[in-house]
Amino acid sequence: MSNRLKLTPGTLDLAALRSIYFGMSTELDRASKVDVDRAAETVQKIAAGEEAVYGINTGFGKLAQARISKADLSKLQENLVVSHAAGVGDPLSAPIVRLTIVLKIASLCQGASGVRWEVIERLHALLDQDCLPLVPAQGSVGACGDLAPLAHVTAGMIGVGEVFLKGERMAASDALAQLDMDPLRLEAKEGLALLNGTQVSTALALAGLFEIERVFQAALITGALSVDAALGSDVPFDARIHELRGHEGQKNVAAALKELIDGSQIRGSHVDCGKVQDPYSLRCQPQVMGAVLDLMRHAATTLVVEANGVTDNPLVFADTGEVLSGGNFHAEPVAFAADQLALAVAEIGALSERRIAMLTDGTISGLPAFLSANPGLNSGFMLAHVTAAALASENKQRATPASVDSLPTSANQEDHVSMATHGARRLLEMAANSARIVAIEWLAAAQGIHFHRPLVSSAPLEKVRDLLRTRITPMNEDRFLAPDIAAAEALVRSGAMQAEANACLTSVEL
């Protein structure tokens, strides 16, 4: 039985996209070859004729009125690739490039782009051989598609530029020679079909979503742990409260928090205490994190649709022999989804930072100042909180919407663009920032729980605390703290921490 995911056009769901991002191999669905071949034949007939059709025998963008001779049609496509491979900046990571290529394959396999099956096979062969084009991260404005980064993807296929072959950076021509592959010769429309599209923006946004998903789950766990550390109440998570408001995400988060805390001896020890209400950072977790979950789910729906769509231009309709020019390359839906995710991940970190502030303030939490058994001689978590505050503030600045910006390009032919690509690219750094904040909260909350011993928390929260303690001991006196934060962050970002309480998180799945 194959452990590869078959790339059947139009069937990529969120679980499939997540598995591809985290490394699952794929295989082509050869049933799609019929539609691909029909569209390619349509393009070839037009290329052999006399009618001027955009993208097949004309120039591009502002130069669309220029007619290209039949003898130059292949050269036209090669020129398009090399001239548009104008990206700058650090290379995109291997998981992003892999996902980008899979999304491009899924789009081409719909049979509306006019490329030969050979082109799709070559793209997939590069994946199988772990030969990934070097794709600079910067240079796309999110319309007319992700032209520059996709040009770098295509350049590797024709033996131009650089690639990473099994992780080693080298000239694309050398890599193809090692793989005993000839550079691909592009035919009519193929360069344009490969360059046009939103696959880079979508891959970046999906990657951001999957990383934010892990941080979100971790923040629910640390949020519950902070409730116990601060002797907070689970009454605000009562389902009846959230049913009256009605937001699905809010109800789901409340259920998860209730389940995470259920059975805690610490909670049982102060049921009849005199405290009336907890700070908002504890009490309003369902309302804030529920709104975050709703945003994430909406963005996920948009991105799944985009991942299964055809976003190059023009599009080939083989049943009628028509080639229609439109604007599916405009990445506005992806830009909006990325902006929503930026808001979501900024709020995850912002709420977690507030809980760290609360835990380290003994006048609110009732815990020793800065979570130190001997404050004064020891500073405890004083500067760990400052780090969390710095990261939260950085994320707030990055959360400014990218989609409200636009600069005309291509001599004003492309006069409104989405800015989806960098809007999506920032999500990975924002997710990393929030993961570090949540890691600091995990350390702080576990330290708070330590002061309540011999009482224990709930079974799932104790498992989470135990995992942390396999790497990091309680802080009885000041020590070099950066390695502790890094170790906790690694557990958050790998998903290991969330796995310890996975049974409590089913209600908050995307």
Euclidean distance between CA atoms 237 and 461, whole angstroms: 16
Euclidean distance between CA atoms 253 and 265, whole angstroms: 22
H or E element at residue 91: strand 88-91
Euclidean distance between CA atoms 434 and 93, whole angstroms: 20
What is the phi-psi region of residue 180: left when phi exceeds 0, alpha when psi lies from -120 to 50, beta otherwise? Answer: left
For 460-501, the DSSP string reads HHHHHHHHHHTT----SS----HHHHHHHHHHHHHTHHHHTT
Q: How far is CA 36 from the centre of its chain?
A: 29
Residue located via tokens 């772990």 = 130
Euclidean distance between CA atoms 254 and 242, whole angstroms: 7
Q: How many CB atoms lie within 10 A of CB 402?
A: 23
Angle, alpha carbons 108-113-116 (nearest 5°):
75
- Do 380 and 475 meet the contact criterion of CB atoms below 8 Å apart? yes
Catalytic residue flag (residue 54): yes
**Backbone torsions φ then ψ of 437, nearest 5 degrees:** -60, -45
Residues in the chain: 510
**CA contacts within 13 A on the Cβ side of 448:** 35
Euclidean distance between CA atoms 496 and 510, whole angstroms: 19
3-class DSSP state of 138: strand
For 303-368, the DSSP string reads HHHHHTS---SSEEETTTTEEE---TT--HHHHHHHHHHHHHHHHHHHHHHHHHHHHH-HHHH-SP
Euclidean distance between CA atoms 472 and 153, whole angstroms: 43
Which residue among the candidates 20, 47, 54, 508 is catalytic per the annotation?
A: 54
Q: How far is CA 183 from the centre of its chain?
A: 32
Euclidean distance between CA atoms 228 and 201, whole angstroms: 41
Euclidean distance between CA atoms 35 and 113, whole angstroms: 10
Please give the single-letter amino acid code of residue 295. L
Please give the single-letter amino acid code of residue 402. A
Residue located via tokens 């292949």 = 74
Euclidean distance between CA atoms 468 and 462, whole angstroms: 10
Q: Which residues are catalytic?
A: 54
